[in-house]
Every structure is written in structure tokens, then in C-alpha cells.
Structure 1
């Protein structure tokens, strides 16, 4: 097969057509910027702005807490306005906030600016997911798998660039990372201008040919089943806190493993996601298949947390082996949960209120960012038994979620029903 034929075949395998491929390019740019900033923000606020450790912790925690509102607000707006316009606004908000952080070194204005940036970040995340649901239709899981793989690649590129800048260690180097993140958000906004507006079931064609919002859309805040589902999702998203907070602290304070193993396990996580997210996504391509994956997800969580407990043994090599097994199992859990979450969060949402429902679902990941580190550090403080208890809670949540959604899922389930109007 010629190179041109291979490229054509690859394009055919990406749902969403040209706009889908454009959004993947936007994801690569956007996540590269995230990689520049995410791992270095605490160091920037410490060494450049001169905040104390307590102030840095408060700034990051409070701004993340305020950012939780970004997902539901953006989702509801996207049910009423073209999603590309709302996404551009979120990206511009992030870019503006990033550049504004360069203008001050005082705690109060930094907190306000960081909060606006967090609102934009959470909004952009849920809008990207909603765009995928609308552009890819019934192939939304496969598209999200490709999108996440591209995003992880971009994050790794940004992380490598950040590591190089941190090796320099000057104020200008730190500021360049912040500016780079802001500029990638601006580039993402400009690139989004080229994306077509996908059909939206929440907006319908009137007799005059104009479009209006569908009357009386469902309210996710009054949907008890969906709220319980979102609560269970907040628990299952804890794999993020385990990797970002739990593994490094546990390695340093409770095991005989070398401290340098922590970043290597993060690399393992990233490589596994890039390599396996797309192949494993096919096992959750339908709504019922996604629900059935909650069983293997429970097994992966149990294996990962049990291995974390075992890693506290008084043996360097056994600790290393157990930690590698834990990272592998928990990464598989992360991949499986991502696949399940993409499908069920959309399948449980009424067509006319997709944006509002996905916005509320976005609260789960945002809430985990605030509460997750506290839960994981609590498990660490309890020792090996803490990991066992955390694992038991995660397994119980998997089965509770499966039971909760069992009779709520449509069959067959499509992200977007046929709609004849598109907004340009």
C-alpha cells in the first residue's frame, strides 16, 4: 500500500470527518500547553511570585474548587448557543488568564486570575467531550480514544519541554512556560474558528428556517439517577489522584523503592495510555458493552490497590516489582474507566439536554481534583490497610454504578439522533 493510500485509510478510521481531524489537531496543541504548565505551576508560584507553601496550596485548591462550576455552566450554554463559539470563549478565557498571571506576584489577584483560568479549563474540557459526542455520533467512544491518545502525546511533549526549561531554572524560563501555555490556548481558539458546527439535538429548525432551543429541556440537577451516577464517577476518577499524589508520596514515605521510580511510573502510565487506549476502546463501543466493562474495572482497581499495599514490604526489589504491577493495573483501570465514562455519560443524557448533562458530569472530575488528594493522603496515612480500604471502596462503587444504570440505558444508543440543520 502506498503512503498516500495509508494516509487515506487512517483518515477513514477517524470518526467525525474533516472537523474531527481538525479537533484532534487542536487537542494536540492545547495539551502541549497543558504539559508546559501543569507540572510546574506550584514551582512557578513558589520561586517566581514568592508565595509561601501554604499560599500555593490554598491558591491551587481554591481556584480548582471554583473551576468546578465551569463544566455545568459551559454545558448548559452549549445547549443554547453554537458549541464552537462557546469553546472559543473558554479557550480565550484561559489564554487571557495565563497571560494575566505574569502581571502580578500578589496572592489575592493571583487567586482571582487562577480561578478564571480554572473556569475556562473545566469548560473547555467538557465542551471538547460534547463536540466529540456530536461530531462522531455512535462512534463517540472510538473518537474519544483517539482524542485522548493525541492529548497524552501532546502532554508528554509539553512535559519534556517543561523539564528542559526547569533545568535552566531562571525566572525567565518559568515565565516562558506560562506564556507558552497561554499562547497554545490562543492558537487553539484560532484553530477552532475553522471547525464546522455539528448538529445539536437541543436546537431545532423553526418554520422560518431559523434555529431555536428545544422547549423545556430536562434538568440534570433534578435527575436523581444521573446525580447518583455522577457521584459514583467522582469516586472512580480517583485513579488520577493516585498517580499524581499517591504514588510519589507512598514511594518516598512507605517503601524501600528508589525515589526516582516515581517519574518512571508516570512515564509508564503515559506510554500505556497512548498504546492501549484506542485498542481497548472497542470493548466499550456500545452502551451495554461499556456497562459490562465495570466488572474488569473493579478487578483492575482491586489488583492495583492490593499491589500498593504489598509494596510496603521490607525488600527493595519486591517493592519495585509491586509498584510496577500497581502502576500497570491502575493504568488499565484508568483506560477502562475512560472508555466506560465516555459512553455512559452520554447514553444517560436526554438528547435535548446533552450539554447540560455532560456539564454536570464534568463536575465529577473537577470535584476529584479538589477532594482526591485528601482521600489518597488519608489512605497513605493509614498504611497498607488504607490502600486495601480504598480498593474495596472503588470495587463497591463499580458494582453500585453497574446496578444503578442497568435499567436506565437505551438500546440501541446513539450520541446524536438524525438532525437536518447545522450551524455555521
Structure 2
């Protein structure tokens, strides 16, 4: 399911800007505004998806969301009207964020105490799907025809339909809230906790927003830094993106074994802090050397930031669930999903600011995230000491 979904996303995401430019004939300003507005509206998809998951079966809600995404993608093929393109893109973005949360919650409920490893496998498969979709898109655009763009968009829509059909074949996992309701102590069902009134969890989500900035490093920071401030060849940028993808596919599952309990995940925040700081330093140093030195330092920075990305994914999967009460996991994970969604809006601004300042900017960038890691380390300790874990720490067997 994740593979099919991400192959479709890889087909479209890599060419979306080009489609709006060459097929829909939008100006650069129009494309930029469309992407920004659609992304901003999409932020609401995470809490919306989480709320629905606490009230309705995931295996029914998720296919419905996938069909909405498919309709939005097909609708883009029917018009060049700017307002309609913006509306359809916003609907697709809203569905994308909701589907991400629903997929993650499904994996959490199915895997139970094995959730970290399960999520690692799913992320590996998703990255492979992105790579396959991107390669197909690159090959399809060799002729640079309007038809090729249209078929890629249609392929994206068809992938959502296929994913919906696959989801319908899956069994509904038991939710913690339903378990509570049918326990040996009958009575009124307790009112689910409200994440918007849970200040410690909101503070945790705020720190997560900063830690997700590694995403902007690869999508915006590295390419722009290579093009404008380093002596490395411009062709290094796509190579480092491939390196990032390959490392995630190869190492995400093995690294997940170091964060299979809440305590272990919290301890990973210390090396994660060091990785972010080192990544910022190597980026800064890459502007001061020869082309060979710059290439080596940028490669080292890409490796370190990729390690940080994988460690943070492992930590985030465990802590976001462990800090949430059983009766409202969907709502809490929906709020947690806002961190990544919000980062997509301000992340590019943060890395472009670092680039504008220069080497010191990258050093400050890495240092700020490193300090945030340690703030989260303290915050999680204090939160867990005040309340019982939603899921008891369980050491996952290596067999």
C-alpha cells in the first residue's frame, strides 16, 4: 500500500512545478503562490485525519481519503483556470496530510510494541517508492511533451485508487479507545483527552517542528548552497539526494532497533543533537575550500544530516505515541503531524536565511536544532515522570 502510494507521489511531486509551468502556462509567481497556499491548507489535514481515526474505522476512512486525492489529481487535468487549479491542489494537499496520519496510525495499531520497527520498514518501502516514481518521471520527460506530463499526473491519481483498493482488503486493527470501552469495567466511555489542552504535548510538538528541518536541508538547502556558495560542482546536488535516499533504504530498519523503547528513544536525542551540530559545521566549512574539499565536506554533511533524519524518525515514532493517551491516539498523532506540515512552510525560509548569512548561518542552524534536541530530552523526561506511559516500555525481540 505504501509502495503504491509513494510511487504515484514520486511520479507527480518531481514534475508538479514543471506541469503548472509548461502545461497550465502559469507564471513563476502563480506557481509559487499555488504551492504555498495549497501547502498551508494541507496543514489542517493532519489533525482532521487523526480526529476521524478516533471515531471511524481506519480501513474505511483511508480509502475514502485516497479517492478524494485521486479525484483532485484527475481534476487538475480538466482545467487551466488558476483558481480551480489552486482549489484542486489544496484538496490534494489536505488529503495527502490526512492519509499520512491515517497510515501511520494504522501501522501503530497493527504493530503494537513493534511500532518503531514496523514504521522503519514502512518508511524504507515509501522511500523506494519515491525513487521508483522519480526515475519513471525522469524517463518519461525525456521527450518533454504535454502528453507525458498528463500521463504522470494520471498515474499519480491511479496510484491512489490502487492504494484505496488495497486498504479495503486489510483488516481493521483494534484501537486503544475501543479496548478501553469494552474492558471488564463497564460504564460510560471516558471522554477522550484533548491534545490542544495538553501543554506538555504541545511543547513537544513545537520542538518537533524544529527537528523536522532536516527535510528542508535536502530539498532546498543543499542544492542552493552548492549552486551559490560552495566551490563544488553543481552536479553534486542530485548525487547527494540519491545518497540520502539510498542510505534511508539501507539503514532505516537497522537503526530502528536502537529506539524500540521509550527510554531508548529518549536517549537517542543526545547523539541526534551531536549529528545536527556536526552537519551545520561541515556545511559551513564547505564554503572555504577547493572544489575537491568542498565536495568531500558536502558529502560528509549529507551523510550526517541523513543519519540525523533517520535517528529523528526513530525517536519521533516512539515518543509521539508514548506521550499520547490511549483514548485519543488519533487526535494526538494528528496534532503531532502539524509539526512536519508546518516545517514545510517555514523550513525553506530557515535554510535560505542560513544561506544568506553564510557559513556562520549554517553553524547557527545546526546549533539551534542541536539545542532543541536537548530541550526535548528534558521535556520528555519531565512529562513522562508526571504521567504513566500510554504504552508500557517493551524491549523488542531481535528474532
Using the size of structure 2 for normalisation, the TM-score is 0.95
Distance 1:224 1:55 in 2: 38
Distance 1:215 1:143 in 2: 29
Other-structure match for 1:35: 10
1:125-136 equivalences under 5 Å are 125-136=100-111
Equivalent position to 1:331, from 296, 299, 306: 306
Other-structure match for 2:28: 53
Equivalent position to 2:353, from 350, 374, 378: 378
8 Å Cα contact 1:48/1:171 also seen in 2: yes
Distance 1:33 1:179 in 2: 9
1:335-350 equivalences under 5 Å are 335-350=310-325
2:217 is paired with a residue whose SS is helix
Distance 1:205 1:357, change over 3 A: closer
1:268-287 equivalences under 5 Å are 268-287=243-262
Structure 1 residue 213 displacement after superposition:
9.8
Q: Does 1:392 align with 2:392?
A: no
Structure 1 unaligned residues grouped into runs of 5+: 1-25, 418-424
Distance 1:206 1:162 in 2: 48
1:48-101 alpha-carbon deviations (Å, 9 max, x no partner): 100111110110011000000001011011101111111111111111100000
Structure 1 residue 333 displacement after superposition:
0.2
Aligned Cα root-mean-square deviation (Å) = 1.8
Distance 1:214 1:41 in 2: 46
1:315-354 alpha-carbon deviations (Å, 9 max, x no partner): 1001000000000000000000000000000000000000
Structure 2 unaligned residues grouped into runs of 5+: 395-399
Structure 1 residue 206 displacement after superposition:
6.9
Distance 1:411 1:324 in 2: 43
Distance 1:184 1:137, change over 3 A: same
Distance 1:344 1:319 in 2: 37
1:100 is paired with a residue whose SS is helix
8 Å Cα contact 1:95/1:181 also seen in 2: yes
Q: Does 1:414 align with 2:382?
A: no
Distance 1:271 1:212 in 2: 52
Other-structure match for 1:175: 150
Distance 1:223 1:397 in 2: 20
1:191 is paired with a residue whose SS is helix
Distance 2:40 2:85 in 1: 15
Q: Does 1:153 align with 2:128?
A: yes
Distance 2:200 2:158 in 1: 40
Q: Does 1:307 align with 2:282?
A: yes
Distance 1:385 1:166 in 2: 39
1:68-107 equivalences under 5 Å are 68-107=43-82
Distance 1:127 1:39, change over 3 A: same
Other-structure match for 2:397: none
Q: Does 1:265 align with 2:240?
A: yes
Other-structure match for 2:226: 251
8 Å Cα contact 1:200/1:416 also seen in 2: no
Structure 1 residue 125 displacement after superposition:
0.3
Structure 1 residue 128 displacement after superposition:
0.7
8 Å Cα contact 1:235/1:368 also seen in 2: yes
Q: Does 1:242 align with 2:217?
A: yes
8 Å Cα contact 2:263/2:393 also seen in 1: no
Distance 1:200 1:252, change over 3 A: same
8 Å Cα contact 1:379/1:390 also seen in 2: yes
Other-structure match for 1:118: 93
8 Å Cα contact 1:234/1:368 also seen in 2: yes
Distance 1:307 1:199 in 2: 46
Structure 1 residue 31 displacement after superposition:
0.6
8 Å Cα contact 1:46/1:56 also seen in 2: yes
